[in-house]
C-alpha cells in the first residue's frame, strides 16, 4: 500500500447534503473518536453518540 492509498477508508461515509453550498463526506470511524462534533451550520453532537 503506498502513501496515496494509506488513508483511504473502507468504512461507510456519512454524506451531508441539502441546502448547503457543497455536500460534505465524513468518515464514520473518524466521527466515533469524538464525543461530539460541531460543524457549522450543523451540530452533530447528538448524532455522534448514536453512530
**Cα distance between residue 45 and residue 38, in whole Å:** 6
- Establish if 3 belongs to a structural domain: no
Provide the pLDDT for residue 48. Answer: 47
Task: Determine phi and psi for 38, rounding to 5 degrees.
Answer: -120, 120
Return the DSSP state at 35.
Answer: S
Containing 38, the helix (H) or strand (E) segment is: strand 38-39
29 within a domain of the structure (yes/no):
yes
Residue 16 scores a pLDDT above 50 = yes
Q: Report pLDDT digits (tens) over 17-51.
A: 556 566 666 677 777 777 766 666 665 555 544 44
In a domain, 33, yes or no: yes
Q: Is residue 24 part of a domain?
A: yes
Total domain count, the chain: 1
pTM: 0.26
Amino acid at each position: 500500500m503506498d502513501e496515496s492509498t494509506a488513508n483511504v477508508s473502507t468504512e461507510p461515509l456519512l454524506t451531508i447534503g441539502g441546502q448547503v453550498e457543497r455536500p460534505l463526506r465524513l468518515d464514520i470511524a473518524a466521527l466515533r473518536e469524538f464525543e461530539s462534533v460541531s460543524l457549522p451550520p450543523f451540530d452533530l453532537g447528538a448524532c455522534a453518540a448514536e453512530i
